[in-house]
Amino acid sequence: MLTTIQKTYRYRIKPTPAQAALFVQFAGARRWVWNWSLGKRRAHHKATGKHLSSPELYAERTRLKREPGYEWLRLMDRQALQQAIRDQDKAYTAFFKDRAERTAGKKGGRVVGPPRFKSRKRSPLTCRIPQRVTFRRDRLAVPKVGQVGSLGISVKGSLFSGQAGARG
């Protein structure tokens, strides 16, 4: 059987002030979509007792981008916003799996709680773009941001995703 090995590397990038502002906006939009979708899921569950699926949230977010007052969502990368909803799915999966294992008496230790709303103070500035991040020469090409300078990046093989975060 053939196995694939994936490696993760961390590099420091040198964005221009305008690009750094876009990364901060991406992180803020990601937090906003997380909170919006969590509120939608909780309200839907309270009203119907059923789970709201990710494709339903994607479609609703797409409709929301066309409404007055939400035009700023069009300026953000769509995959970065979809990734926030996917991450929320993972958080709910971990919560329900942990709860089921505890009920069955199979697990002890730290309790995994339900997903929480994110705040500016408590949540780090991060965003993840799962596709379409590429290298061109010694620069990183990020959708909606452009070519971002880097410090000594040399990649052999293909790049699958990119994540940006602020270190404070």
Q: What ranges do the domains of the chain cover?
A: 17-124
What is the reported pTM? 0.82
- DSSP code of 111? P
What is the torsion angle, in degrees rounded to the nearest 10, for the CA atoms of residue 130, residue 132, residue 133 and residue 136?
160
Q: What is the pLDDT of residue 160?
A: 61
For residue 113, give the H/E element and its range: none
Dist CA 73 CA 51 (whole Å): 25
Dist CA 137 CA 155 (whole Å): 10
pLDDT in tens for each of the 168 residues of the chain?
788 877 776 777 888 999 989 988 999 999 999 999 999 999 999 999 888 889 999 999 999 999 999 999 999 988 889 999 999 999 888 888 887 777 776 767 777 788 899 988 887 888 778 788 777 777 788 888 888 887 666 666 566 666 666 655
